[in-house]
Amino acid sequence: MSKGGFSWKRATGVTKAKQNFSRKTGIPTTRSGRQRKAGSAMGCATFIMLSILIIITLILIIL
């Protein structure tokens, strides 16, 4: 990453367009941002799936 200077992406408006897209849709445009968002969603989904699995197991044991 540079410490300033000229950037073609900033000069042509690519950076601003990506920022606006990301803010409006909630989808990160960087690779690390997408991985971070997917990881946080998986953490939540894993907890929910584990809870459902435990409940189903308990129901099957009781029957």
What pTM value is reported for the model? 0.48
Can you give the pLDDT at residue 2?
Answer: 56
CA separation, residue 18 to residues 8, 33, 34, 57 (Å): 14, 13, 13, 46
Does any domain span residue 5?
no
Decide if 4 is inside a domain: no
Give tens-digit pLDDT for 9-21: 889 999 899 999 9
* Inside any domain, residue 55: yes
Number of domains in the chain: 1
The residue segments making up the domain with residue 26 are 10-62
Q: What confidence tens digit (pLDDT) does each residue in 19-43 have? A: 999 899 888 888 888 888 877 767 7
Neighbours of 31 (CB within 10 A): 8
